[in-house]
Structure 1
Amino acid sequence: MNYGFVRAAAAVPMLKVADCEYNTGEIIKISKEAEKLGAQFVVFPELAVTAYSCGDLFLQKTLQNAAIKGLETILTETRALECVIIIGIPLVINSRMYNCGVALKEGRILGAVPKTYIPNYSEFYEKRWFCSGQGKKNETIDLLGFSVPFGTDVLFEAGNISGLCFGIEICEDLWAPVPPSSAQAVNGATLLFNLSASNEIVGKHEYRESLVNLQSARCAAAYVYSSSGPNESTTDLVFGGHALISEYGSLMAESQRFSFEEQLVVSDIDIERLINERLKNSGFTQDTTDNGFRKAVFNIKELETGNLLRRIDPHPFVPSNPGVRNIRCEEIFSIQTSGLAKRLKHTGLDKCVIGISGGLDSTLALLVIAKACDRLGLDRRNIHAVTMPGFGTSSNTLNNSLELMRLMGVTTYQIDIREACMKHFEDIGHDPEVYDVTYENVQARERTQILMDKANKIGGLVIGTGDLSELALGWATYNGDHMSMYAVNTGVPKTLVKYLVQWAADYVFGDETRKVLLSILDTPISPELLPTDEAGEIAQKTEDIVGPYELHDFFLYHMVRYGANPSKIYYMAKQAFEGKYSEEIINKWLNTFLRRFFSQQFKRSCLPDGPKVGSISLSPRGDWRMPSDAEAGEWLGDMKK
């Protein structure tokens, strides 16, 4: 099973200007190298058979004939290869010359696509030689004995792999206001290939990279771009050999510019991910297709499974680059504080109530409340923070919560819930020596009752602390910590919470507060509902019970964001967490995730309001609409395949 992945390559070959025999040999050599690497597609630069910078030599019959002979040689010498080869070549058709991209496979010409936008400004004067392919549709040409579809209406569709379809555009086409690839994508192309000859001037490579990434994002596609290298003529221009592979806005692979050696960049593309994006994107769900597109059908060998030639990020919610991560944290924090500030303004209330446990989630929520009050010009004494030690509260978390509240300058309460819980055990006939779900949930609901009643007493809002990961797993007591009047962390996954607290410690608050925040960051994640150990330390650790949050966040991201099958998630997780978790451990916790995700939907169906901060939200009023009694059988069954 290939799980929807295909392998594409962008080649920058060695070349000699106007030496078709040499260039043909290089194309054949690199095509064979790409095949050995398992590439199913390889694209070469614009006019790679002749070189781009031939000038008026394009008008010479000698060069035209040599190019066709080179094409014939490539066909013959790559007949045994299973990959699709896309080359650039000048073609003379009906006394007009076109700058074309030609797709070849196993000795057969699949089709030829002419360049639409012919640059004729500054250093470019292509109209001197080439005609635009604009309007060229429904045409067929005879090429080396093949009846070949020719025109800008040609797409190439794999007959044996669902959703695998590619389109071709050439260089300037990408720089146009409406690139041909946009129409190609709307009509089914998930892979977009660009054969280019883009010269280098200061800063151009950055703009070029932006164009490739943005077009792949706009088209919900993979964009594979190959541009001519420095072996082109340098009479007036220098070419850098910039090859790029981008998937849905993310750069997957890139060549080194200005290398005189051949280059081949390869990456695996997730076609299933792209299709899932399109299923949710109104630009694709609306019927805007142009039935004038033709499909040239081919079959392709499936990608052999093994480690993918792409990085599988083990922490997809958390940017790996520290600078980017800090910017992301600042933005999320601003979204949270703005959401709460608006809710306070709308309700006309100027007080907040929050339970502080000394853990990460309630810490982040308190920091958000403090900054929201600062933005509204409210005294932080309007924040009524309550720490409620129970049977499992450790001295460390209690001290951290008290110190944090002091440093935040909030109104502080310490209410021990143990006596009230014991009375409740007596009322409902529960043995307090039985540490079951009743024992735990009584404490959670007692705390929520205190917070709600306190809010009513002072005229304030109870601010929820639960995060996105807990919502996914249903790791919350129904009508306990599950409930609040506004939940500021509802869109933040657990793996990101700690980075937000770390960011706040480093950039937002002073040294004293930072010290406490770092202590909280070092505390094991726990609901602290079961008694502490003999040393008074936390005995109940959440990740020992439900599994590592980094695994659950990985599962959540790929299942909800991209609709991936559990077996595919498992396959990717094995690579992402290789050397950290065994296959058995990943399998165990993925099954746990699936069972809990389905069985706990009823808690998500009645969530309090809270801000969406990233691409995934489980709000029943927004992104996630799921029946509370859906069966998990199909998903669990997929794990057994």
Structure 2
Amino acid sequence: MYSHGFLKVAAASHKTKLGDSMYNVKEMLEILKEAKKKGAALICFPELCITGYSVGDMLFQRYLYLDSLNAIKYLLDNNPFPGVVIFGSYVIINDTLYNCSFVIQNKKILGIIPKTFLPHTNEFYESRWFASGNNLIKDLKNIKFLGQNVPFGKLLFENENRDVIFGAEICGDVWAPTSPNEKLFANGALIVLNSSASPAHIGKKEKRHLLTQSTTMKFNSAYVYVSNNASESTSEVVFSSHLIIAEDGNIISEYDRITFENNIIYGDIDIKKLHFLRRNNSYYKQTQALARDVDFQYVKFELEENAEYAFEELPERLPFVPKKRADLERITMIQGASIRKRLDYVGTEKVVLGVSGGLDSTLALLSLVHAYDEAEIDRKNIIAVTMPSAETSKRTYENAKALIEKLKCAFKEIRIDLEVRRQLELINHSTEKDTTYENIQARIRTTTLMNLANQEKAVMIGTTDMSEIALGWSTFGGDQTGMYGINAGLPKTVVREVVKYYQEIFPDVKDIIDDILKTPISPELTGSNQKTEDLIGKFEINDFILYHFLVNGDDFERVSYLLTKAFGLNGNEAREYVNNFSNRFFTQQYKRLSMPEGVKIMAVSLSPRSELKLSGDHYPPKI
């Protein structure tokens, strides 16, 4: 299955009888029937899975080789699977045995890749039976096998459009200091499939995790690792049955229980994301000059593109939100360090902060208090200001005041009604509650806070978060600015989670925070009935779009498709969300070009100085 840039792959381990090649192939065929129903495009089986890995000196016997050939022919003749199958067997060339990975599709052998690194330590004795293919592949590019002329050696497999490219290596190759997968990835492979026979012993599972996660992270790639299972032999070792599918440093599917039965797992590889990450990876670009290899043969395989995709797991609705408590703690540490360094540089211990009773200013205040406590600075140096107007609700005002007082910060209240009226009269405004009316309030608050900061020799803290910065949901010259943007690196969905986390650190204000979390998000510039999400859409959906656009590099057509899967929107609703985001994101870049400094916390930042290089007059794409 291949659709919308997602490729379904499978890792399978079958019941094995040592030396009974036909039995083993028939078990493989049963798995292939299941994989066909699930729509996998690629499936990988273990090392030497035709004969079994542990046949030992029987590898030298001609009968076993002939049995393996007959079994492979039977597999080709009866293959029910339309995709690509990778499995392990061996070939004999000039009476020399080579442990190989076979790549087939339907009745055709697409290629054979010999193993490079042969383990010969502890329980492994492979160099007793096999030769490394490292030297052979320099001279031999094709071999005759079962009547077919088969590409041999350094191979990469590509579909017609060249957007899906994969390679194969065998077991110990991935454990070597310089693995074949490095050359495969550097020369275009997005996926490497490893047919393995790996014993189970304490600590080895974790090492496999380390290997697969590290290599896929470095090369923005995917890795499919398949070990044989315990059914083949327990004479000296128990084979691990370990199946891993990893992508870009993460294990997306795994089976790690020791079993004697047929087993298969599936994973959705995000091909488009991997391409984007590589285009954006300067290390990968530089690797081209060091690792490009003109000796690779590129072999075509067939890959049908489907209209729909059946996900193993639906796309994560809150992709920015950390899943580990330790990451939330890390966020507080980053925010705390950022503000402490800025205060140290400026030469003050004072900050001025507007507190509205909303989520963003609540997080800013909590983060400042936490940072001051860590640095043993008196909380009274945090000058927290409420700035109510006629539009401010009693609920948010009382929450803001109670939070400041319970946290024992310096409290100030400055009403802005009179100043708002003066500004309206100055420009002869009709007092209609329009954009001008709203922006005057925001700018007066910011100017007042700036002036107060000057008077107190303090740093004025901006509270706008990444989601609002992305959507331009701020007043230019108002809450868009500040002397330091403490929340600029956090999307709204993460702001909410960090505020919840602070309830553990500051239990005395837990009830106040609870009510703030329940309060609808509103700028309260035309009254408490003004709901932000009614105007710009739900933040969890906008954050989803932001993540997939900037982190994964998805085009808006694909983001729209993912919205229908993750949130159950219909096509029109998804397109409306995406077009609204696109319009706001691009037309509001001018606000980001003059935004205050603020620390990067997540995988992406919107800073125009360090990360997002975008002109202020780039036209928004539409779908």
TM-score between both structures, scaled by the size of structure 2: 0.97
Q: Deviations over 1:346-385 (max 9, x none)?
A: 1112211110001110111112222232333322111111
Does the residue aligned with 1:192 lie in a helix, a strand or coil? strand
Does the residue aligned with 2:53 lie in a helix, a strand or coil? coil
Does the residue aligned with 1:102 lie in a helix, a strand or coil? strand
Q: Deviations over 1:14-67 (max 9, x none)?
A: 121110011111222222321221111111000110111111111111111111
Give the match for residue 215 of structure 1.
Answer: 215
Please say if 1:540 is aligned against 2:530.
Answer: yes
Instruction: Give the counterpart of 1:479 among 469, 477, 480.
Output: 477
Task: Give the drift of 1:256.
Answer: 5.1
Task: Give the drift of 1:203.
Answer: 2.9
Moved more, 569-578 or 544-553: 569-578
Please say if 1:8 is aligned against 2:6.
Answer: no
Give the match for residue 48 of structure 2.
Answer: 47
State how far apart, in whole Å, the 2-side matches of 1:13 and 1:228 are.
Answer: 7
State how far apart, in whole Å, the 1-side matches of 2:298 and 2:571 are.
Answer: 41
Q: Which runs of structure 2 are paired with 1:211-290 in the superposition (5 Å)?
A: 211-255=211-255, 257-286=257-286, 287-288=288-289, 289-290=292-293
Query: Superposition RMSD on alpha carbons, in Å?
Result: 1.5
State how far apart, in whole Å, the 2-side matches of 1:285 and 1:212 are.
Answer: 21
Instruction: Give the counterpart of 2:152 among 123, 126, 150.
Output: 150
Instruction: Give the counterpart of 2:315 among 293, 312, 315.
Output: 312
The answer to whether the Cα contact below 8 Å between 1:82 and 1:301 also exists between their aligned partners in 2 is no
State how far apart, in whole Å, the 2-side matches of 1:92 and 1:361 are.
Answer: 68
State how far apart, in whole Å, the 1-side matches of 2:435 and 2:70 are.
Answer: 78
The answer to whether the Cα contact below 8 Å between 1:216 and 1:246 also exists between their aligned partners in 2 is yes
Task: Give the drift of 1:582.
Answer: 4.5
Give the match for residue 116 of structure 1.
Answer: 116
Q: Deviations over 1:202-226 (max 9, x none)?
A: 2322322232222222221111111
Task: Give the drift of 1:94.
Answer: 2.1
Instruction: Give the counterpart of 1:527 among 523, 530, 533.
Output: 523
Give the match for residue 612 of structure 1.
Answer: 600
Please say if 1:295 is aligned against 2:279.
Answer: no
State how far apart, in whole Å, the 2-side matches of 1:164 and 1:353 are.
Answer: 53
Q: Which runs of structure 2 are paired with 1:507-522 in the superposition (5 Å)?
A: 508-509=505-506, 511-522=507-518
Q: Which consecutive unaligned segments of at least 5 residues does structure 1 have?
A: 532-537
Task: Give the drift of 1:271.
Answer: 0.7
State how far apart, in whole Å, the 1-side matches of 2:476 and 2:6 are.
Answer: 40
State how far apart, in whole Å, the 1-side matches of 2:306 and 2:148 are.
Answer: 28
The answer to whether the Cα contact below 8 Å between 1:341 and 1:372 also exists between their aligned partners in 2 is yes
Give the match for residue 467 of structure 1.
Answer: 465
Task: Give the drift of 1:310.
Answer: 3.3
Q: Which runs of structure 2 are paired with 1:388-399 in the superposition (5 Å)?
A: 388-399=387-398
Amino acid at match of 2:260: F
State how far apart, in whole Å, the 2-side matches of 1:530 and 1:472 are.
Answer: 23
Please say if 1:631 is aligned against 2:619.
Answer: yes
Q: Which runs of structure 2 are paired with 1:494-505 in the superposition (5 Å)?
A: 494-505=492-503
The answer to whether the Cα contact below 8 Å between 1:138 and 1:150 also exists between their aligned partners in 2 is no
State how far apart, in whole Å, the 2-side matches of 1:523 and 1:168 are.
Answer: 54
| Residues 138 and 476 (structure 1), Cα distance of their counterparts in 2 relative to 1, 3 Å cut | farther
Q: Which consecutive unaligned segments of at least 5 residues does structure 2 have?
A: none
Moved more, 364-373 or 598-607: 364-373
Give the match for residue 70 of structure 1.
Answer: 71
The answer to whether the Cα contact below 8 Å between 1:163 and 1:188 also exists between their aligned partners in 2 is no
State how far apart, in whole Å, the 1-side matches of 2:455 and 2:374 are.
Answer: 25
Task: Give the drift of 1:125.
Answer: 1.2
The answer to whether the Cα contact below 8 Å between 1:6 and 1:302 also exists between their aligned partners in 2 is no
Task: Give the drift of 1:304.
Answer: 4.4
State how far apart, in whole Å, the 2-side matches of 1:50 and 1:470 are.
Answer: 61
State how far apart, in whole Å, the 2-side matches of 1:344 and 1:290 are.
Answer: 52
State how far apart, in whole Å, the 2-side matches of 1:406 and 1:460 are.
Answer: 20
Does the residue aligned with 2:138 lie in a helix, a strand or coil? coil
The answer to whether the Cα contact below 8 Å between 1:252 and 1:310 also exists between their aligned partners in 2 is no
Instruction: Give the counterpart of 1:586 among 574, 577, 596.
Output: 574
State how far apart, in whole Å, the 1-side matches of 2:389 and 2:107 are.
Answer: 75
| Residues 304 and 47 (structure 1), Cα distance of their counterparts in 2 relative to 1, 3 Å cut | farther
State how far apart, in whole Å, the 1-side matches of 2:99 and 2:306 are.
Answer: 31
Instruction: Give the counterpart of 1:457 among 455, 458, 461.
Output: 455
Amino acid at match of 1:279: R
Moved more, 465-474 or 35-44: 35-44
| Residues 310 and 183 (structure 1), Cα distance of their counterparts in 2 relative to 1, 3 Å cut | farther
The answer to whether the Cα contact below 8 Å between 2:15 and 2:232 also exists between their aligned partners in 1 is no
Give the match for residue 569 of structure 1.
Answer: 559
The answer to whether the Cα contact below 8 Å between 2:3 and 2:309 also exists between their aligned partners in 1 is no
Task: Give the drift of 1:611.
Answer: 0.3
The answer to whether the Cα contact below 8 Å between 2:227 and 2:242 also exists between their aligned partners in 1 is yes
Give the match for residue 535 of structure 1.
Answer: none
State how far apart, in whole Å, the 2-side matches of 1:166 and 1:499 are.
Answer: 39
Task: Give the drift of 1:234.
Answer: 0.6
The answer to whether the Cα contact below 8 Å between 2:83 and 2:302 also exists between their aligned partners in 1 is no
Does the residue aligned with 2:558 lie in a helix, a strand or coil? helix
Does the residue aligned with 2:609 lie in a helix, a strand or coil? coil
Q: Deviations over 1:414-470 (max 9, x none)?
A: 0111111011101111122x1110010000000001100001111111111000000
The answer to whether the Cα contact below 8 Å between 2:159 and 2:300 also exists between their aligned partners in 1 is yes
Task: Give the drift of 1:98.
Answer: 1.0
Task: Give the drift of 1:88.
Answer: 0.3
Aligned residues: 617
State how far apart, in whole Å, the 2-side matches of 1:366 and 1:219 are.
Answer: 40
State how far apart, in whole Å, the 2-side matches of 1:460 and 1:582 are.
Answer: 50
The answer to whether the Cα contact below 8 Å between 2:4 and 2:309 also exists between their aligned partners in 1 is no
The answer to whether the Cα contact below 8 Å between 2:356 and 2:396 also exists between their aligned partners in 1 is yes
State how far apart, in whole Å, the 2-side matches of 1:66 and 1:258 are.
Answer: 28
The answer to whether the Cα contact below 8 Å between 1:196 and 1:225 also exists between their aligned partners in 2 is yes
Q: Which runs of structure 2 are paired with 1:130-209 in the superposition (5 Å)?
A: 130-135=130-135, 136-139=137-140, 140-151=142-153, 153-159=154-160, 161-209=161-209
State how far apart, in whole Å, the 2-side matches of 1:177 and 1:488 are.
Answer: 43
Please say if 1:345 is aligned against 2:341.
Answer: no
Task: Give the drift of 1:137.
Answer: 2.9
Q: Deviations over 1:466-514 (max 9, x none)?
A: 00000110000001000001101001000010110110112x11x3222
| Residues 100 and 303 (structure 1), Cα distance of their counterparts in 2 relative to 1, 3 Å cut | farther
Does the residue aligned with 2:3 lie in a helix, a strand or coil? coil
Please say if 1:87 is aligned against 2:124.
Answer: no
Amino acid at match of 1:298: F
Moved more, 474-483 or 281-290: 281-290
The answer to whether the Cα contact below 8 Å between 1:82 and 1:300 also exists between their aligned partners in 2 is no
Does the residue aligned with 2:284 lie in a helix, a strand or coil? helix
Amino acid at match of 1:564: D
| Residues 514 and 138 (structure 1), Cα distance of their counterparts in 2 relative to 1, 3 Å cut | farther
Q: Deviations over 1:195-252 (max 9, x none)?
A: 0111111232232223222222222111111110111111011113111111112222
| Residues 272 and 502 (structure 1), Cα distance of their counterparts in 2 relative to 1, 3 Å cut | same
Moved more, 581-590 or 115-124: 581-590
Give the match for residue 368 of structure 2.
Answer: 369
Give the match for residue 549 of structure 1.
Answer: 539
| Residues 6 and 306 (structure 1), Cα distance of their counterparts in 2 relative to 1, 3 Å cut | closer
Task: Give the drift of 1:280.
Answer: 0.9
The answer to whether the Cα contact below 8 Å between 1:11 and 1:42 also exists between their aligned partners in 2 is yes
The answer to whether the Cα contact below 8 Å between 1:40 and 1:303 also exists between their aligned partners in 2 is no
TM-score between both structures, scaled by the size of structure 1: 0.94
